[in-house]
Amino acid sequence: MNAVFCLPLAVLATPISAQVVVGTSGGRSAFEIGRATSVAAISARIRLSRGSISVLAFGDHERHGSGAVAGAFSSSAIWHAEPGAWRVAIGPAVMFGTSRDGRSGTAWGLSAGMEGRRGPLAAGLTARAGYSRGIRPQSSRWTDGQGQIQVKLGQLTLSTTWLVTLLSDTTVRRPSASDTMVTPGSDGLGGQHVRSSHASLGARWSGSRAELSVEVGRRSGLGVESMIWWRNQLGFHLTPTTALVLRDERLSPELVLGVEGRRRTMMGIEFRLPSRPKNVEPKRLIELFRTNQHRVLVVLSLPIAKRAALASDATGWGSIELTHRADGRWEAWLEVGPGIYRMNVSLDGGAWIAPPGARVIADDFGGTVGLVVL
């Protein structure tokens, strides 16, 4: 796990905004072949940002009672810009994986993507290409493309995702239950290409005390075995930064790195350690980016929270979920013309308060509300 932490810290200098989620868990796990054994796992998700540069790192490592290990880690540094309603990102990516027999593999490449949001609907596209080496006897060329659509309905988020991966090699390892080699002439592929396609549906509900996420998908393709996979997680918030997590998963094999698939059921503790952007000037606690006379992006600097909502006379006092940005702030698009509007925010389902940086006035119910010029 040390590599996951050291890479971002070495790349970015302060001041930075950071989001860190570290978890440890234990339970039962089994590879696609073999019996289930006890397992202990540690995972981490890190995002560090400074201006238009972000470093993302994800890691998962597990050790079985039988002595076998498995894990996959990835890290990428991206430059992102926001032309209009779309966010564009491009940068290098590095991955590392460990198979159950102790072999390791690495992959590196370039990633480019874009995402946009309009009201409750969000969509994104990402493409990556590069080389991998280690678990296979020689280097391989790989490319993948992913698309995702999300719809937010209050505390519920629905999503659908597609992922297509193409691996080219003179001798390609197929990471299936049998862990066999695809040799030239077999499977009608000439040993040159393997293609894996994933399609999934997911749902996530987020409340003030608990979170539930469910995702089910199917893998198919050429040179790979078709299978159904899933990732289900239930979390209970013990404190604002600590959660008890129950997880049931069937992970599909990782084609690029050659890491085997496995089935596991675990329980553990997750720690969330986000931090606010440093040195934020009071005049920049609220920023506005108007694209036309009827649409404006509102960006707010808020205290630490897992989720945030906004209500205003600009929304008819209906609550809308805010989106967490890479720089640690929160944003929402409002379909409203220029003017002076009343506005409040709610953090983690708590009381409604005036957003930091807004002028505070009395409302019609004996409380207070923020006043914002849009």
Q: What is the mean pLDDT of each run of 10 residues along the chain (374 residues)?
A: 32 51 80 73 81 81 76 79 72 84 83 82 90 68 92 86 84 43 39 82 84 94 90 86 89 83 88 56 69 82 84 88 84 86 88 87 83 86
Strands (E), 273-347: 286-292, 295-300, 308-312, 320-321, 323-324, 330-334, 340-347
What pLDDT, on the 0 to 100 scale, is given for residue 226? 92
Which residues of the chain form CATH 2.60.40.10?
282-373
Which architecture, in CATH terms, is 282-373?
Sandwich (2.60)
What pLDDT, on the 0 to 100 scale, is given for residue 229? 94
What pLDDT, on the 0 to 100 scale, is given for residue 79? 80
What pLDDT, on the 0 to 100 scale, is given for residue 279? 45
Which architecture, in CATH terms, is 2-272?
Beta Barrel (2.40)
Torsion of CA 27, 65, 257, 104, to 10 degrees: 150
Whether omega before 15 lies within 30 degrees of 0, making that bond cis, reads: yes
What pLDDT, on the 0 to 100 scale, is given for residue 138? 57
What pLDDT, on the 0 to 100 scale, is given for residue 301? 86
Distance from C-alpha of 129 to C-alpha of 93, rounded to nearest angstrom: 9
The three-class DSSP label of residue 100 is coil
Q: Decide if 125 contacts 116 (C-beta within 8 A).
A: no
Which residues of the chain form CATH 2.40.160.40?
2-272
Count of helix runs (H) and strand runs (E) in the chain: 1, 26
Distance from C-alpha of 80 to C-alpha of 328, rounded to nearest angstrom: 14
Tell me the pTM.
Answer: 0.66
What pLDDT, on the 0 to 100 scale, is given for residue 85? 60
